[in-house]
Amino acid sequence: MGFEGGQMPLQRRVPHLRGFKSLSPTRFTVINVGELEVFEANSVVGEEELLAKGLIRKKGLPIKILGNGDLSKSLVVKAHGFSQKAVEKIETARGSTEVI
């Protein structure tokens, strides 16, 4: 790039994009802890059970449990990822988490 005849140079016309954007980002199906209240106490909650209750739309995407809401039942939750708050809330309800 050189002199462009008095117009704004190309490197200043194009906005600078900061950071890195992955070409294949991991997209999680997000479920909040409060949504798990639909299950019976002491049950195992996995991908099949979430699909049967309509909490996820399709099978195959990784599932992440977030900590929004309250849980009063003891559940064994199997998912691909958990937030720290979600793990705390599940364990205070005497449940357990399992990363698959």
pLDDT band at 1 (very low <50, low <70, confident <90, very high): low
- Tens of pLDDT, residues 41-63: 899 998 999 999 899 988 889 99
Cα 5 from Cα 89, distance rounded (Å): 64
What share of the chain in percent tops pLDDT 70? 96
Does residue 38 have a pLDDT over 70? yes
CATH class of 21-99: alpha beta
Per-domain residue ranges for the chain? 21-99
Mean pLDDT of the region 1-18: 74
